[in-house]
Structure 1
Amino acid sequence: MIDREFFLGFVKIHILYHASKEPIFGVGIIEELSRHGYYLSPGTLYPTLHRLAEDGYLKQDSKLVARKVRKYYTITDSGLEVLKKARDKISELVDEVPDDCNSNPIHL
Structure 2
Amino acid sequence: MDHKELYSGLIRLHILHHAVREPIFGLGIIEELARHGYKLSPGTLYPMLHDLERKGYLHSTEERSGKHSRRVYRATPLGKEALEDAKQKVRELFGELFEDHS
Amino acid at match of 2:59: K
Correspondences of 1:1-108 after superposition (within 5 Å): 1-98=1-98
Amino acid at match of 1:77: P
**TM-score (normalizing by structure 1):** 0.86
How many residues in Structure 1 have an aligned counterpart in Structure 2?
Answer: 100
Q: Could you tell me how far 1:67 is from its partner in structure 2?
A: 1.1
Tell me the C-alpha RMSD between the 2 structures.
Answer: 1.6
DSSP-derived class of the 1:72 partner: strand
Amino acid at match of 2:86: A
Q: List, as ranges, runs of 4+ consecutive aligned residues in structure 1 with deviation greater than 3 Å.
A: none
Give the structure with the larger helix fraction.
Answer: 2
DSSP-derived class of the 1:70 partner: strand
DSSP-derived class of the 1:39 partner: coil
Q: What runs of 5+ residues in structure 1 fail to find an aligned partner? A: 100-108
- Looking at structure 1, the residues matched to 5 and 78 of structure 2 have their Cα atoms a distance apart, in angstroms, of 22
- Cα deviations by residue, 1:50-87 (Å, 9 ceiling, x for unpaired): 11001100010101124122000000011011101110
Percent identity over the alignment? 48
